Structure 1
Amino acid sequence: MTDLTEHREVQLRRDAIGLGGALAGTLANMAPVEGIFIVVVLVAAAMGTFTPWAFLLGALGILLTGWNVAQLARRVPTAGSYVAFAYHGAGSIARGLSRPAAAFTFYLSIMSGPVTIAAVVVFLGSWVQTALGLPNFWWPVFALLAVALTLPVVLRGAAASVRTSLLLFLLEAVGLALVSAVILVRSHSSLGAPLHARGGQPGGWAGLIGITFATSVSGFIGWENAAAMADEIKRPRRVVPIAILSSIVVVALLYVLATWATVSGYADWLGPVKGMARLGDLTNAAPYVELADHYAPWLTWLVYLIGFLSPAACYLAAITSCSRWTFASARAGLLPRPLAKVSPRSQVPAAAVWLWTAAVTALIVVPYFLADGNAVTVSAYEAGIGTVPLLLVYLLTSLYTPFYVRKHDRGEFSVVKHVLPAVLAVALVGYGVYEFVLPAQPPPANRFWIYIGLIFVAAIAFAAVAVRRGGRRLDVLAATAPDENPAPAAA
């Protein structure tokens, strides 16, 4: 029998946030503005005027994955998030899989998560440095400043983090919607451009095949934020699934609105073919700034502002959430015990927050020197390398879902509700993972598979050691949020 007495002495603050806070953190973590600014050029280069449809289909793939995660979050709400989901889900397939699956998921996430988050902060630093017209050595300064200013907010507690995230996201979303609306109005004669395949290579639906779909899916990373906040959310069994699914829908709508405006704007300005060639030009670092300069120069400042707010909100929300599942995993013995400590006043897992802060700081400073200060190279490497392991975690969680529901909630088990979404999510996300790791891609993506493979092998090795040494202590992951009745343990 698992001894959970020790972990119950160390708790996060109960009922700290409600549905609004859960939504705020998740929406901020998804960073739609940053996603659009980075991803739209790559998608447009392949799909031309059909670019908005890539994001709509990417949203469908993520919505299926989100549905699967929501099924587990409703039944096993826990700060352990994916790590605990792996414990319960894999244990439903075979009793002996609980501990190794949870350990593997944790080490895969802890080695890739900081890399992905660092890419966000590198983008922030580079965006501010470029906007101010400063020399290249300034971008790590701004990136590190953002990390330093975020730390006190995170350490104050979940409520402070989500309130700040909400403010930043609202400014980001309203600003994006406003600029998009102005572009759509001023390019009204080309509003139908996304309905006709023009431009791109190979263009149209053919352009969706390959890395394009994987890229559009990666633009939604962060939708799982609320799952790790379960111990601090009021009524997590109800709130977490709503936050996950609602956030995906909201961000999908923002993506479609903004990309539709982008395609319409360039098509009206330069014509469909030349416009898509310009939008898909990899040297076009800031197409939204260019469109604002053309259609509404008085709003260019707003584009620069939301380009800063988006990664800032993403970093704040991500660190807040990731520190929770890190804390829960340390509590189960997957990290040294001191990392499971909670601040007595704020009830924040301060040690875990500092761990993530240190990791992100290192991933800003070290690559700066390795890449000769090239922020684009650093961000591209970190985003590409960090994304695939997270997509793999999504895939595995979807795979576990029907097994868990069938074993522990057979009365509600349904092929339509639990098997079909899982199969589709595994297929779609699996395709994205496959395309990301193919060596036959333009640099630097042609080398991503090497680094991803090293992370994968290291995660297996660390998991094997942790399971052998940790033993029954890993069963702490069976616990659910303290204000709920525990779900059946998988092992």
Structure 2
Amino acid sequence: MLDPISTGAPRSDAEDLARLGYRQELRRDLGSLSAFAAGFSYVSILTTVFQLFVVGYAFGGTRFFWTWPVVFLGQLAVALNLAEVGSHYPVAGSVYQWGRRVATGFPGWLAGWLKLLGDVVSVAAAAIALQAILPSVWGGFQLLGGDPSLTSRDGAANAVLLGAGLIVLTTAINMAGVKAMAYVNDVGVMAELGGVVLLIGALFLHAVRGPEVVLEPVHGPPSSLGTGVAGLLAAALMPAYVLYGFDSAGSLAEETQNPRRIIPRAILKAIVASGVGGALLILAALMAAPSLTDGRLSTDGLAYVVVSALGPTVGKVFLVDVALAVCVCTLAIQTGASRLAFSMARDGALPCAPALARVSARTKTPVAPAIVVGALACGMLVVNYGEAQLFVLITETAVLLVNLSYLLVTAGMLLRRLRGWPGRPEAGSGVFSLGRAGLALNVAAVAWGVALIVNIAWPRHDGGGAPWLSYFPVLGVAGAAVAGLGLFVAMQRPSGEQDAISRPRESSVSMMS
């Protein structure tokens, strides 16, 4: 799929960027490892599988394993299409830039807006995961009260404190420049990869049953949705909540050397490494779990398996590695969100565009977006203190927003393919191409995106809380779209009155109208 021949490519990355309508302002310091790390650490299977294993097992039992490869293959089809459009448009902002170039007007802008909202919430969701890990490593991390449970008042308050501290740290790293961010991210991803490999191996060595466990319909306490198809569809929410964000490498395109070649590979490496590693981790956990029916897998999840199978000392060592993964995951999401906000502001497509589009002369980094994203994420954490269930629902909405932004891009690509791909002269030939398989893979990506979004948004009432809360993700997306439409209309200005902030050749109005 990789075309070794680059036809008519500019002599440098800066000239290539100029052809796409922007001047080189950010510092190009990143190579292939850092680009891969950006996507892999956003997904962060060590973070998210630890967090969400309970969701999959509670609804699907041992057979929830099979929802992972199904979701992985669907998201792989999406990633292949994003890799191709990323090769044609290696510009900071990923989904926003891709969306506005394949689907002009409101749909193209909306892709960036939804992804930005989803990323801000995801920063908070990743940071709050520290509460599920650090107090188990050492009781001293429970700074407020004595109950570390996220659903308790003490646990919720402590989670806000730990999460806010982490976000302040990641904001400072982002402000220090892309080199500092990349160094921390690279080290963290290497530690996470090593931890995943060692953990999988250790759990396999301590297995108490064979791999045929995934073929047996074993459950703990029955869920409210039963053990049939409805249960498996609900269990599929677990991999759906994990396998997204692999596009983050594209947000760093203007800071990556040879991005037309490196960005597509980084996107695909991130999704494949996450998919394979996550599947092996789930299988190893099911094989090593002391019991499949005592209810602990549905309440304590993977942490219970690790500590029970490997012992408290070794188990805590792996939990420290998980905590490190949480930190680099938060950093990666915040970095991607800040570059997305910078890219939109540079086109005059966000309020306060001049401030958000400004690049530090010293660090060559957009500082204001990192601060704004960090502040908004800290604000989101406060919701968890007042109502933990509401925070969970907001997080579900964020997953829905991000996948909807992917769908807007892949649907726009499909329309372009039917008219002649890529269909724009500034796109160039690209280095990564799906070739003859492009149309089929694009149709598959769109169909999968629709199915995934319907499954995530489908109202499921588990018997707790008000029934209307099961509609919260749908209401949240509708609210985000309505707010986006209002902002989009408000940002329209007569030609010649836009903020001239390194705009592409077409004006921001013609781009958005």
TM-score range, shorter chain: 0.7 to 0.9
Unaligned 5+ runs, structure 1: 91-97, 481-488
d(CA) in 1 for partners of 2:446 and 2:340? Answer: 23
- Structure 2 CA distance for partners of 1:369 and 1:278, relative to 1, 3 Å: closer
> In 2, are the aligned partners of 1:84 and 1:477 still within 8 Å (CA)?
no
Return 409-418 or 39-48, whichever deviates more.
409-418
Superposed displacement of residue 445, structure 1:
4.0
Question: Is 2:448 aligned against 1:428?
Answer: yes
Residue 81 of structure 1, aligned match among 94, 99, 112: 94
Residues 54-65 of structure 1 correspond to what in structure 2 (within 5 A)?
54-65=67-78
Structure 2 alignment gaps of length 5 or more: 1-17, 146-153, 424-428
After superposing the two structures, state which structure 1 stretch, 212-221 or 70-79, moved more: 212-221
Which residue in 1 is equivalent to 2:406?
Answer: 394
- Please give the per-residue CA displacement for 1:97-137, whole angstroms capped at 9, x wherever unaligned: x1323332232233332112211112224532454342223
**Contact 1:127/1:308, CA 8 A, preserved across alignment:** yes
> Displacement, 1:209?
4.7
Aligned amino acid, residue 119 of structure 2: G
CA contact (8 A) 1:120 1:311 kept: yes
Distance, in Å, in 2 between the alignment partners of 1:409 and 1:425 is 17
Instruction: Map Cα deviations across residues 288-319 of structure 1 (whole Å, 9 max, x no partner).
Output: 22222322113111232133122211111111
Q: 1:210 is paired with a residue of what secondary structure?
A: helix
Secondary structure (helix, strand or coil) at the match of 2:48 reads: helix
* Residues 474 and 33 (structure 1), Cα distance of their counterparts in 2 relative to 1, 3 Å cut: farther
- The alignment covers a number of residue pairs equal to 458
Which amino acid in 1 is paired with 2:380? L
**Distance in 2 between residues matched to 1:278 and 1:289, nearest whole Å:** 10
Q: How far 1:46 sits from its partner (Å)?
A: 2.7
**The 10-residue stretch of structure 1 (202-211 or 384-393) with the greater mean CA deviation from structure 2:** 202-211
Query: What is the aligned partner in structure 2 of residue 451 from structure 1?
Result: 476
User: Relative to structure 1, is the Cα distance of residues 471 and 216 closer, same or farther in structure 2, using a 3 angstrom cutoff?
Assistant: farther
Closer, same or farther: CA 384–474 of 1 in aligned 2, 3 Å: farther
Query: 1:187 is paired with a residue of what secondary structure?
Result: coil
Which secondary structure does the structure 2 equivalent of 1:358 belong to? helix
Matches within 5 A, 1:107-256: 107-129=113-135, 131-133=137-139, 134=142, 135=145, 136=154, 137-187=157-207, 189-199=209-219, 206=229, 209-256=232-279
CA 1:464/1:471 → structure 2, altered by over 3 Å: closer, same or farther?
Answer: farther
Structure 1 counterpart of 2:398, which letter?
G
| 1:296 matches 2:313 | no
Aligned equivalents of 1:302, 1:472: Cα separation in 2: 57
- Contact kept in structure 2, 1:223 and 1:248, CA below 8 Å: yes
CA–CA separation in structure 2 for the residues paired with 1:194 and 1:211: 17
In structure 2, the residue matched to 1:467 is 492
Asked if the contact 1:84/1:478 (under 8 Å) is kept, the reply is: no
The alpha carbon displacement at 1:343 in A equals 0.4
TM-score (norm 2): 0.81
User: TM-score, normalised to structure 1's length?
Assistant: 0.85
More divergent stretch after superposition (412-421 vs 32-41)? 412-421
Whether 1:328 aligns to 2:343 is: yes
Do 2:360 and 2:366's aligned partners in 1 also have CA atoms closer than 8 Å? yes
1-structure distance, mates of 2:131, 2:503: 37
Q: Secondary structure at the match of 1:21?
A: helix
Task: Please state how far the C-alpha of 1:468 moved relative to its aligned partner.
Answer: 4.8
1:374-413 alignment to 2 at 5 Å?
374=388, 377=389, 379-405=391-417, 407-409=420-422
Higher helix proportion, which one? Answer: 1
Q: CA 1:470–1:313 in 2, change beyond 3 Å: closer, same or farther?
A: farther
Q: Distance in 2 between matches of 1:380 and 1:205?
A: 25
Going from structure 1 to structure 2, the CA distance change for 1:471 and 1:326 (only over 3 Å counts) comes to farther
Counterparts of 1:474 and 1:396 in 2: how far apart (Å)? 26
Paired residue type of 2:195: G
Distance in 1 of aligned mates of 2:59 and 2:256: 42
- Are 1:342 and 2:359 counterparts? yes
Deviation at 1:474, TM superposition (A): 9.5
What code does the residue aligned with 1:332 have?
D
1:368-403 deviation digits (Å, cap 9, x = unpaired): 4432xx4xx354133212111111001111112233
SS of the residue corresponding to residue 299 of structure 1 reads helix
Amino acid at match of 1:41: V
Q: Distance in 2 between matches of 1:456 and 1:159?
A: 35
Q: Which moved more, 1:439-448 or 1:40-49?
A: 439-448
Partners of 1:21 and 1:162 within 8 A in 2: yes
Distance of 1:470 and 1:352 partners within structure 2: 26
Partner of 2:27: 13
Q: How far apart, CA to CA, are the structure 2 residues paired with 1:322 and 1:470?
A: 29
Instruction: List per-residue Cα deviations over 1:208-245 (Å, max 9, x = no partner).
Output: 75333243222112201111111111111110100001
- Equivalent residues in 2 for 1:26-41 (5 A)? 26-41=39-54
Give secondary structure in 1 for the equivalent of 2:236: helix
CA change 1:203–1:87 in 2 (3 A) is same
Alpha-carbon distance change, 456 to 210 in structure 1, aligned in 2, over 3 angstroms: farther
Task: Name the aligned partner's letter for residue 472 of structure 2.
Answer: R
